[in-house]
């Protein structure tokens, strides 16, 4: 009896002394976002409205939602801990979120719980598959027309295979749906994907875009029946046939555009270092709107009457007419990435979480 006890005790001691086999921190794609009080002060990159609800996304897999116009926020359950970059709802119930590592999240309960629809590994696979089938279906006509096409496609396939080995390296930067069925995903280095069946299947469309330098694609919007994409280095592209084919627009600027938005039949493109342009002819002719700031504009919002533009260094620009935009003094130097209107003012997604303005004054 005593012997066994001693034996047991010594086993316990040995167990206590041998270092446990520690589990290293899981990869951020495998780690669900922890529910944390710190979630309310992370970098937020986007905020949108989903019916009555406001939903914001940001760093460490944080998705926040508010049912009282941005006063109180709750954290949603998310299966990854990556930096999320944009959010879009096709209905008050159905939403999509993009993020780093090529993450695409899906929710059908108004953004309270999110599932991983795919990550960058799937995007890499789609890319390889695209080039493989493209090479397989190459017709004689095409090779005659462009003798280097096959070689180019083989190179592109090799690139895609190399990327597959590298893993889910590149971020998705934007999710946007034209309607319930048709949606687009934009990302780094010219990455673009499209769905026609409400997101069940996505196809690789980067090769259809006139973006030979593979600039980052940052934003997309619709103006009447056309689609416009904006990106790095002044890249502006337009499609007049529901995205089947794209052509490059003349750009008024060589720096990056971070957002493009349609407001009262006009297009607004905004970007680096206080650059804001307006086009009243669908993107062919642009006029610069002078603004008294040199910080970058990151995200725009229009409710049909008022346009609001959020930017770095605590910038919020609002107004009804393009030439009447005024800088709102918010008393902060934190960066803002997106803005949405509420019944009482504006809610901004920024460097230190949500920032809310009300009619009089400002509150965090």
Partner 1 sequence: MKRMAERLLYPIRRSEQWVEYLLFHQRAWVLSVFLLVTLVLGWQAIQIRPDASFIKMIPTSHPYVENYLTYQQDLSGLGNSVRVAVATTEEDIFNAEFQDVLRLVTDELFFIPGVDRAALQSIWTPNVRWTEVTEEGFVGGPVIPPDFDGSEATLDQLRINVLRSGQVGRLVANDFRSAVIEVPLLDFDPETGERLDYQAFSQRLEERVRDQFSDDQVSIHITGFAKIVGDLIDGARQVALFFALAIVITMVLLYLYSRSIQGTLIPLVCSLIAVIWQLGLLNALGYGIDPYSMLVPFLVFAIAVSHGVQIINAIRLESLHDPDKWHAARSAFRLLYIPGLTALVSDGIGFFTLMVIDIRVIQELAVAASLGVAVIILTNLLLLPLLMSYVGVGEKAIEHAKAQADQGGEHWRVLTWFATKKGAATALTVAVLLAFGGVYAAQGLQIGDLDRGAPELRADSRYNLDNDFITSNYSTSSDVFVVMAVTEPDQCSSSATLSAVERFQYAMQAVEGVQSSVSLADLSKRITSGLNEGNPKWRAISRNQFVINASLAFVPGGLMNADCSLLPVILFLDDHKAETLIRVSQAVETFADRYNSDQLQYLLAAGNSGFEAATNQVIARAQYEMLAWVYGVVSLLCLLTFRSVKTVLCIILPLALTSLLCQALMAMMGIGVKVATLPVIALGVGIGVDYGIYIYSRLSNYLSQGLKLTDAYFETLKTTGKPVAFTGLTLAIGVVLWVFSPIKFQADMGILLTFMFLWNMLGALILLPALTAFLKPHPELTSSPELFENDR
Contacts to partner 1 by CB under 8 A: 22-25, 27-28, 31, 34, 36-38, 41-43, 45, 59-60, 81-83, 85-86, 100-101, 166-169, 171, 173, 216, 218, 232, 254-256, 258, 272-273, 296, 298, 312, 333, 335, 337, 351
Q: Which is nearer to partner 1, 110 or 235 (CB)?
A: 235
Q: Please state the closest distance from residue 105 (CB atom) to partner 1, in A.
A: 15
* Torsion, Cα of 253, 215, 272, 237 (10° steps): 50
Burial zone of 87 (CB within 10 Å; 0-12 exposed, 13-18 middle, 19+ buried): buried
Q: Please state the closest distance from residue 169 (CB atom) to partner 1, in A.
A: 5
Q: Which is nearer to partner 1, 110 or 272 (CB)?
A: 272
Q: Which is nearer to partner 1, 83 or 157 (CB)?
A: 83
Q: Which is nearer to partner 1, 83 or 228 (CB)?
A: 83
Q: Please state the closest distance from residue 2 (CB atom) to partner 1, in A.
A: 31
Q: Please state the closest distance from residue 200 (CB atom) to partner 1, in A.
A: 26
Q: Which is nearer to partner 1, 282 or 314 (CB)?
A: 314
Q: Which is nearer to partner 1, 85 or 357 (CB)?
A: 85
Q: Please state the closest distance from residue 167 (CB atom) to partner 1, in A.
A: 6
Q: Which is nearer to partner 1, 69 or 351 (CB)?
A: 351
Q: Please state the closest distance from residue 24 (CB atom) to partner 1, in A.
A: 4
Q: Please state the closest distance from residue 52 (CB atom) to partner 1, in A.
A: 27
């Amino acid at each position: 009896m005593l012997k066994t006890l001693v034996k047991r005790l010594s086993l316990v001691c040995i167990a206590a002394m041998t270092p446990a086999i520690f589990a290293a921190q899981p990869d951020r794609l495998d780690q669900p976002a922890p529910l944390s009080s710190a979630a309310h002060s992370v970098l937020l990159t986007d905020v949108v409205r989903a019916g009555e609800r406001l939903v914001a996304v940001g760093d460490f897999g944080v998705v926040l939602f508010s049912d009282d116009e941005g006063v109180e926020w709750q954290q949603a359950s998310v299966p990854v801990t990556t930096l999320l970059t944009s959010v879009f709802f096709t209905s008050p119930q159905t939403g999509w979120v993009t993020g780093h590592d090529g993450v695409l999240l899906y929710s059908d309960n108004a953004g309270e719980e999110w599932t991983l629809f795919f990550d960058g590994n799937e995007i890499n696979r789609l890319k390889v598959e695209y080039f493989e089938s493209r090479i397989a279906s190459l017709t004689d006509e095409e090779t005659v027309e462009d003798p280097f096409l096959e070689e180019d496609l083989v190179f592109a396939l090799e690139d895609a295979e190399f990327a597959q080995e590298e893993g889910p390296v590149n971020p998705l930067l934007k999710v946007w749906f034209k309607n319930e069925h048709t949606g687009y995903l934009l990302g780094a280095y010219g990455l673009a994907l499209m769905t026609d069946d409400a997101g069940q299947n996505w196809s690789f469309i980067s090769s259809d875009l006139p973006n030979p330098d593979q600039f980052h694609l940052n934003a997309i919007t619709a103006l009447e029946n056309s689609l416009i994409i904006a990106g790095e280095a002044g890249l502006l592209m337009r499609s007049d046939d529901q995205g089947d084919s794209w052509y490059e627009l003349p750009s008024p600027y060589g720096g990056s555009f971070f957002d493009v938005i349609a407001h009262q039949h006009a297009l607004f493109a905004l970007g680096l270092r206080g650059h804001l342009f307006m086009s009243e002819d669908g993107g062919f002719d642009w006029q610069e709107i002078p603004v008294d700031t040199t910080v970058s504009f990151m995200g725009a919002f229009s409710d049909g009457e008022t346009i609001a533009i959020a930017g770095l260094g605590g910038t919020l620009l609002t107004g009804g007419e393009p030439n009447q935009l005024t800088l709102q003094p918010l008393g902060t130097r934190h960066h803002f990435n997106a803005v949405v209107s509420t019944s009482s003012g504006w809610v901004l997604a920024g460097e230190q979480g949500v920032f809310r303005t009300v009619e009089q004054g400002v509150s965090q």
